[in-house]
Amino acid sequence: MTQIRKPITSDKQQILDFCTDTFSWGDYIHEVYDSWTKEGELVILEEDNVPIAMCHGVTYTDESMLWIEGIRVREDYRRKGFAELLVSHLERSAHDLGIIHANMLIESENVPSLNLAEKIGYQRKSQWNYFAVESKKTSFSSLFDSLHYDELAHSELRFVESWRWIPLTKSNFEKLNASEQILCIKDNKTIQSLGIITDSRSFDNTMILTILFGKSYGIQKFIQHVQRLALEKNYSKIRILTQQDEIPIVSIQKKFPFYLVEKKL
């Protein structure tokens, strides 16, 4: 019998046992499993009393968004519609709460997931690149220009927090601005480059820089600022997410791009 339910203590090891070599680089579920059981809705699918699939959904009420992540189906149970069942379960719960859209992020090489998303009605909204850099001492000054929310012309800007692409609403902007997480460089009062720093709650030791847009000089200044900040705050990893194809640091390597996909609920 197939059942979708909340997690119970005995699930953890059985789930982690099949979430080890999911991707070429391994998997991250072991890092987040505990925090996901406390935050949002972690759903488990069991078949004949054995947990064989999971998925995590987080509802962002103010942004009216359901964020879906960590879909995992045990290899010997794939292609039976279980991922579809889990995602539609989360979508229904979110819809009942009045949430109007769902998002997830899919690596551009992950054909099964891209097909899954397309089959259940998700559309590609944007493409993002991911770069990894190290923390280090840098010489750039950390002075940035001040910015008010009303100066932002785009209405669909997003920033990355804990690997979730969150709409930059006025209230998110004010919080980030108050804690100096917004990096802005202006040119003749026009915003030339815009970046946002977050530190990952679920993933240990990671500082994330979202480059929303920018010119070479601004991006370089953002990266150097984050490198120094990460060193000061003892973060070992820095991840840069941007829709730009290239960034002006020679030493860093681009990883596979990701698609942000969306469905209206």
CA 49 to chain centre: 32
In the set 79, 137, 148, 189, which binds ligand COA (CB under 6 A)?
A: 79
* Joined tokens for residue 258: 């990701």
Compute the distance between CA of residue 87 and CA of residue 120 in angstroms, rounded to an integer.
9
Report the residue number, 22 or 138, with the smaller CB distance to ligand COA.
22
How many residues in the shown chain lie near ligand COA by CB under 6 A? 19
Binding to ligand COA (CB under 6 A) within 209-248 occurs at none
Report the residue number, 77 or 217, with the smaller CB distance to ligand COA.
77
Q: Does 22 bind ligand COA (CB under 6 A)?
A: yes
Q: Does 71 bind ligand COA (CB under 6 A)?
A: yes
Residues 6+ apart with CB under 8 A from 145: 184, 185, 186
* Joined tokens for residue 9: 């203590």
Binding to ligand COA (CB under 6 A) within 80-139 occurs at 80-84, 106, 110-113, 115-116, 119
Compute the least distance from the CB of residue 151 to ligand COA, in Å.
35
- In 3-state terms, what secondary structure has residue 146? coil
Q: Where are the beta strands (DSSP E) in 100-245?
A: 101-107, 123-133, 158-161, 164-167, 182-187, 190-199, 206-213, 237-242
- CB under 6 A: which stretch of 9-17, 76-84, 190-198, 225-233 binds ligand COA? 76-84
Compute the least distance from the CB of residue 129 to ligand COA, in Å.
17
Report the residue number, 158 or 225, with the smaller CB distance to ligand COA.
158
Q: Is 2 exposed, middle or buried (0-12, 13-18, 19+ CB in 10 A)?
A: middle
For residue 210, give the amino acid letter: T
Binding site for ligand COA (CB under 6 A): 22, 71-73, 78-84, 106, 110-113, 115-116, 119
